[in-house]
């Protein structure tokens, strides 16, 4: 890992495709995609990585995929809790090494997200690993809600050139932002990455509104997000999500517990938005597989001239703005006071594309 004095990575210009790899307008081909829906535990990075390794191993033995997608922040659910202070890892740390082993072991691309130290800041990073050891990184464009406490936004375009051709990577609410479509439109043959859909709290006083109305609207939004992106980009979409019940702290209200559930909604969609596989909250932990077409993009839906590509409840917008303001302020203050645990580590980073390594040196 090379030292870096940069606080924020420069915008990433996608490297030229390697000879022999498909271009965006290459003839159509069918590839098998797996999306994993794990039930991770708050702050248990080691345990979550071990569970993810089992899930990927089982999915690959069963389906022999060409590419596997795990959620963003596969090392822990993205919650507001003091345990999140210890989940960041070096860019080439345990999560990176696990993805490297899995891609080599199963002879397919494997992608997953984690909070990674990149230079002098942490990012919501997604790493897509190829079997030969080539690694591609995408940093989420901006943190969502309370996530701003734990990492800051990136600046790359999310387009990576792989052995399967150009692929777009997206994390979390990037699946809902129009600028994600604008960055990738006409440039990719597949969109993949991961999500974390948190639920409304179960407080008795707010249940008639939050749980009976807003929660149902957000679940509908979650279900419709992957096929909507497929129709707007005109490419197949893989959307891997967390699932399960959780309890976290509440921003700006010490002592108030926030209990809810993660929606799931892991999906694989074809280019026209047809859902080929889906896991909901009720399905729990698991994985899905589907054969999708990689081909030149053919958008069906228009791209709106708005920030979000679809509407969702106003209450979620309010939490978005409050969480962004509170989280960014606290992140900056803690950084100035050198209170982040990762500030004890050397400032280090990797380029957004790491070329193939000598596999003999990689731990089996």
Instruction: Report the alpha-carbon distance of residue 87 to residue 113 in Å, rounded.
Output: 12
The per-residue pLDDT for 21 is: 77
DSSP state string for 119-153? BTEEEEEEEEE-TTS-EEEEE-SS--GGGGGT-B-
pTM, 2 dp? 0.93
Instruction: Report the alpha-carbon distance of residue 231 to residue 272 in Å, rounded.
Output: 5
Instruction: Report the alpha-carbon distance of residue 121 to residue 196 in Å, rounded.
Output: 22
Successive 10-residue mean pLDDT values, the chain, 364 residues: 37 57 90 98 97 98 98 97 97 97 98 97 98 96 96 95 96 96 96 95 92 93 97 98 97 95 97 98 98 97 95 93 96 97 93 74 48
The per-residue pLDDT for 16 is: 62
Q: Which residues pair with 291 in a beta bridge?
A: 32
- The tokens describing 207, both together, are 């249940």
CA atoms within 13 A on the CB side of 362: 22
Neighbours of 146 (CB within 10 A): 25
Contact 180, 225 (CB under 8 A): no
The per-residue pLDDT for 132 is: 95
Contact 84, 44 (CB under 8 A): no
CA atoms within 13 A on the CB side of 82: 4
Instruction: Report the alpha-carbon distance of residue 280 to residue 289 in Å, rounded.
Output: 15
Neighbours of 288 (CB within 10 A): 22
3-state secondary structure of 179: helix
The per-residue pLDDT for 244 is: 97
Pairing type for strands 2-3 and 29-37 reads unpaired
Contact 24, 166 (CB under 8 A): yes
CA atoms within 13 A on the CB side of 187: 17
Contact 265, 223 (CB under 8 A): yes
Contacts of residue 96, defined as CB under 8 A and 6 or more positions apart, other chains included, come to: 89, 90, 114, 116, 127, 129, 135
Q: Mind listing the domains of the chain with CATH numbers?
A: 25-353 (3.60.110.10)
Instruction: Report the alpha-carbon distance of residue 323 to residue 144 in Å, rounded.
Output: 7
Neighbours of 150 (CB within 10 A): 26
Pairing type for strands 29-37 and 67-69 reads parallel
Neighbours of 149 (CB within 10 A): 22
Q: Give the angle 11-15-17 at the CA atoms, nearest 5°.
A: 150
Going by the DSSP 8-state scheme, the letter that residue 85 receives in this structure is G
Kindly list the distances between the CA atom of residue 186 and the CA atoms of 11, 297, 299, in Å, as whole numbers in the listed order: 19, 6, 9
Residue in the structure block whose two tokens are 């050891």: 133
The per-residue pLDDT for 322 is: 95
């Amino acid at each position: 890992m090379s030292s870096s004095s940069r606080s924020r990575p420069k915008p990433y210009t996608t490297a030229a495709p390697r000879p022999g790899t498909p271009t965006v307008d290459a003839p159509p081909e069918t590839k098998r995609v797996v999306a994993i829906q794990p039930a991770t535990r708050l702050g248990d990075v080691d345990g979550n990585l071990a569970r993810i390794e089992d899930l990927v191993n089982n999915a690959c033995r069963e389906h022999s995929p060409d590419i596997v997608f795990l959620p963003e922040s596969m090392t822990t659910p993205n919650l507001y809790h003091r345990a999140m202070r210890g989940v960041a890892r070096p860019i080439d740390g345990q999560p990176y090494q696990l993805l490297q082993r899995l891609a080599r072991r199963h002879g397919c691309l494997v992608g997953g997200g984690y909070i990674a130290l990149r230079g002098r800041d942490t990012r919501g990073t997604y790493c897509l690993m190829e079997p030969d050891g080539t690694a591609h990184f995408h940093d989420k464009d901006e943190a969502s809600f309370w996530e701003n406490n734990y990492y800051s936004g990136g600046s790359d375009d999310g387009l990576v050139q792989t052995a399967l051709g150009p692929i777009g990577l997206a994390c979390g609410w990037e699946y809902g932002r129009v600028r994600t479509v604008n960055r990738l439109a006409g440039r990719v043959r597949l969109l993949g990455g991961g999500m974390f859909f948190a639920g409304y709290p179960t407080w008795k006083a707010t249940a008639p509104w939050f749980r009976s109305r807003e929660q149902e609207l957000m679940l509908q939004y979650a279900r419709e997000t992957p096929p909507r992106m497929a129709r707007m980009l005109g490419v197949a979409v893989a959307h891997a999500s967390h699932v399960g019940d959780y309890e976290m702290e509440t921003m700006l209200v010490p002592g108030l517990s926030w209990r809810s559930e993660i929606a799931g909604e892991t999906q694989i969609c074809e280019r026209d938005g047809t859902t080929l596989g889906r896991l909901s909250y009720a399905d729990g932990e698991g994985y899905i597989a589907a054969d999708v077409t990689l081909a030149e993009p053919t958008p069906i839906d228009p791209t709106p001239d708005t920030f979000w590509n679809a509407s969702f409840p106003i209450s979620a917008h309010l939490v978005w703005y409050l969480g962004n303001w509170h989280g960014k302020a606290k992140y900056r203050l803690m950084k100035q006071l050198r209170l982040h645990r990762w500030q004890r580590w050397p400032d280090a980073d990797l380029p957004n594309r790491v070329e193939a390594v000598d596999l003999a040196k990689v731990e089996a």
